[in-house]
Amino acid sequence: MRRLAVLGFPVSFSRSPAIHNAAFAALGMDGEWSYEAIEVSPDQFERRVRAMPGEGFVGANVTVPHKGAALLVSDRRSGVAREIGAANTLTFQEGETRADNTDAQGLMESLPGSAGGRRALVLGAGGAARAVVWALTREGAEVSVWNRTPKRAEQLCAELGGKVDPKPAAGKYDLIVNSTSVGLRGEDPFDELPLSSDWFGFSQTVVDLVYGERESKLLNVASEAGAQVVDGLEVLVHQGAASFRIWTGVEPPLEAMREAARRA
């Protein structure tokens, strides 16, 4: 059995096991491949990754808060992962650990239309935000970044492009991406983020990378105001599909993965 996993802290919210195991079942690969969730604290992350090849693992996805550490623990890094400075996909092969980043690809494949020329606000400055800023700037968007700790936003923009907006205002942006963890534990985004319910309209696209047991209040409010919305599950499916291709060399069944994500 070729084993795969998602590593996070916490990780119980992840729907990656459901998505990948559904893909294996749809393709008749479930007798040879499996995918599970493993919770690992930051202080144990490197040790856990080092042990995985000996336990039959051929790869892993990495979620919060380990995406920076995943890059550091790797022996080889894809150009995209190296430029972004974070990895969400590890492959164990021939005694080496390879790091890739499929978050950027997952986002761009989920957006309705091109981001080129759009004014984009990225909320957050962690590993997910780095992939978002990297992808949007290369697509030709005009990117601004807000983070609760402004210095982290300044560092991100200095490395990847964009500019810091310490006090975002309504009417400035037609693409908004929440890449923070706000909402993961049920937090109200309008209490925690520099947004209000009157920000949204028909000309906007709003993306919330967070998904969990609850519906996204941010996306519900934006959708009611007429904005196009993209939820974290859609992005997860596309980034998961890219990881699936890396590990297996097989084209993944997107619809089966999408259905599993919604059911889980």
Please check whether residue 227 is in contact with residue 201, taking contact to mean a CB–CB distance below 8 angstroms. Answer: yes
The DSSP H or E segment spanning 168 is none
Is 163 annotated as catalytic? no
Q: CA 206 from chain center: how many Å?
A: 15
Selected catalytic residue, list 67, 167, 172, 217: 67
Q: In 3D, which of 213, 255, 212, 209 has the Cα closest to residue 230? A: 209
CA 114 to CA 117: how far, in whole Å? 8
Q: Write the CB contacts of 3 (distance below 8 Å, at least 6 apart in sequence).
A: 33, 34, 35, 36, 55, 56, 57, 58
Q: In terms of DSSP H, where are the helices of 161-229?
A: 189-192, 217-224
CA 5 to CA 57: how far, in whole Å? 8
At position 196, the amino acid (one-letter code) is: S
In this structure, how many other beta carbons lie within 10 angstroms of the beta carbon of residue 240?
27
Q: Which residues are catalytic?
A: 67
